[in-house]
Amino acid sequence: MSSPARHPVSPSPLLLPPRAPRCARSVAVIGAGAAGLVAARELRREGFSVVVFERLGTVGGTWVYDADVESDPMGTDPSRAVVHSSLYESLRTNLPRECMGFLGYPLVSRDGEGRDPRRFPGHREVLRYLEDFARDFDLYGLVRLGTEVMEVEMAEGGGWAVRTRQVTGESDAGCTSEVYDGVVVCNGHYTEPRIAEIPGVEAWPGKQIHSHTYRVPLTFLDQVVVVIGNGLSAFDISRDILRFAKEVHIASRSRGSGAPVKQPGYDNLWLHTMISSAEEDGTVVFLDGSSLHVDVILHCTGYKYHFPFLKTNGHVIVDDNRVHPLYKHIFPPSLAPSLSFIGIPWKVYLKYILFTFSLYLLSTQLHSLFFVFFSLYVTLLLE
């Protein structure tokens, strides 16, 4: 099958031309999703030697749809085989395509088999866009597919030791360790579920799942479902399963009091206060005092930041679902600029443009500090 035509790359006055590097430095980028791909482009533009590590067999990160789900429907078992993507089959973007492209490379509608011209396209169109981006900027040669990062820690002689293993191909390939001058963490934060705490749920006989493991609505045929959450995923998934579920009840913290409200335009959708408790007889009780027998509790409660591979000796802390301390949501001050994070803010509607600006700040800081260290080294030698 012939490869599709290259995407027209339009110049942007906001992107500065690449400058000649003062010295060749190596940077490891963890993840080949949207953040990792634009990180690779911007760092290479600035003259750095870049390697991108990607656990999956293709680029795209969270936009790679996987019909398989984890063995643990709540995604909390540490021994489970992790499925990275949280996409469901019907997912479309909740932003128009005009807001989703990188600077200089808009997400324009394109003709061709399998393309989605809608202004709010489906997830496959976004994946095709990222694949086009990687091809048109010749990034595939920088990406090590099927390579999982097991550990990142400060090396004794300076830099960062990155230990990886192959997850495709030879099963006994073993681990490889390499040292890089810098590490950029772009592993995303839509894989490790956050779970609502429900009193009595341990003895409740129904089924619980997290939206991370939701794929298709048919699994809820003729069932009574409580969806916890009032964010975008709760809104979208509750409407998706309405076609098959017997009843859908949304439990939301934003509804502080009052009786359940039947939603206009729907025969089987109600909005409730938050859950008060779950009972042994299968009943779910809400804070407003109402109750009903429920088959499934679906947690649309978001995700945790999760960097199990990163060892920083306490310089970077993840608690209360925040990563700190980070300057500009990018640099841990005591480790800057050799360690950085791209894509930490999640309530950002121009996220792909934010990625680009974050990477410009990163590449500028890397150049500046490496030059300072080199100048200091020369000064000490002359003394």
The answer to whether residue 218 scores a pLDDT higher than 90 is yes
Is the pLDDT at 16 greater than 70, yes or no?
no
Highest mean pLDDT among 326-330, 331-335, 379-383: 331-335
Q: What pLDDT, on a 0 to 100 scale, did the predictor assign at position 364?
A: 55
Pairing between β-strand 317-319 and β-strand 26-30 as defined by DSSP bridges: unpaired
CB 201 within 8 A of CB 184: no
At 256, the pLDDT band (50, 70, 90 cuts) reads: confident
Q: Which of 113, 112, 129 is nearest to 121 (CA)?
A: 129
Quickly state the pLDDT bin for 377 (edges 50, 70, 90).
very low
- Domains in the chain: boundaries: 26-191+303-382, 195-299
Domains 26-191+303-382 and 195-299 alike in fold:
yes
- pLDDT of 349 strictly over 90: no
pLDDT digits (tens, 9 = 90+) for 187-198: 998 999 999 999
Q: Is the pLDDT of residue 378 over 60?
A: no
pLDDT confidence bin for 102, thresholds 50/70/90:
confident
Q: From 3.30.70.20, 3.50.50.60, 3.40.50.620, 3.20.20.70, which CATH number describes the 195-299 domain?
A: 3.50.50.60
CA distances from 16 to 64, 177, 273 (A): 31, 34, 51
State how far the Cα of 229 lies from the Cα of 274, in Å rounded to an integer. Answer: 9
pLDDT at position 350: 52
Domain 26-191+303-382 CATH assignment equals 3.50.50.60: yes
Calculate mean pLDDT across residues 239-249: 97
pLDDT tens profile 279-302: 999 999 999 999 999 999 999 999
In this predicted structure, the answer to whether residue 100 has a pLDDT above a threshold of 90 is no
The sign of the dihedral angle between the CA atoms of 79, 88, 131, 170 is positive
Model confidence pLDDT, tens digit, residues 112-135: 998 999 999 999 999 999 999 999
